Structure 1
């Protein structure tokens, strides 16, 4: 992870918001360098670890909380659930998100697993833990990332709306006490281990759009193509 000042690795307003946890970020950086020195590689690449904070805090209107990065080399890109455009096949969780997106809105998802277009519309794709050991899911849970990402959530709540939080799964639900009056869309995680137990059929995308519109904000363009004529509901 870069040793540069926060305002050189993220948006200035995020740098200000995360200043209270800068000591924790520095400690995590030291721990990651120790992991590398010990021959234990981790993901994503150092320049992508804080990528979720690249766009301004002021733009965020949807917070999507994930768990930790994909542990497969080449998959983790610093944005929860997203992968690089050339990744095939898609990770199962992302494939399930696309399945639900099509069922919910009746539109065809993007041709790749790159969710960057969502971030350009104010969707913050934030994992609870921002690094992971290669091939070792949840291996960096004890580095202290939750202190950092909890601070990010608090900053969004303090800023005020419009804001909708999307909480998929148990780890995402841990931030709910921090959200105050923020409107929440929640369900099981899209992982293949749990998607059939409440994620499929939850229609989170249309729910988020409805809650945004209640707050006077425009809907998110979740799909690059218009809805098909076969949309139901």
Structure 2
């Protein structure tokens, strides 16, 4: 086991412990913020936005709850970091299968980001998570720190492939966990469907990435 792997696993454990605090804090802030929004009731999904929705408008503008809001607000920066990692593969990655996975990540996650931003706008919610003292996105499940990203950017060839695969496996597992929470407790049909798509697509990519790591 390399020194990087040992350090990476220690950081993974700390991130998993931190994500519960991030989610709980986001729920609390979202609940508190609801008092300032006239006519908005996240729990029931009844809002002035949904009441005035035009015929034919996406179902995303209909019923939703705080779980749906938090899912979108957290998954947007999560996807954005995955895309940042994917961009680093250009000129650094050497494995053809890994390059194919990078292409899949870009094709799936860029449109999902725009879709989730559209939901939040329709729900009259911020497209970014409320800031919490002492917490940043690196505390979210599967997110990499700035140091992790700099280390990845310094790699090339097989070393890059292995580190990218290891980091993206953790990143995907974090997204899958968040999507499972949305499937369990979310209310908006579009958001729940996207959560299912994320679980299916990223679970398959985790298996591919693991096969890259397992190569001699």
TM-score where L is the length of structure 2: 0.29
More strand by share: 1
In our comparison, the structure showing a higher alpha carbon Rg is 2
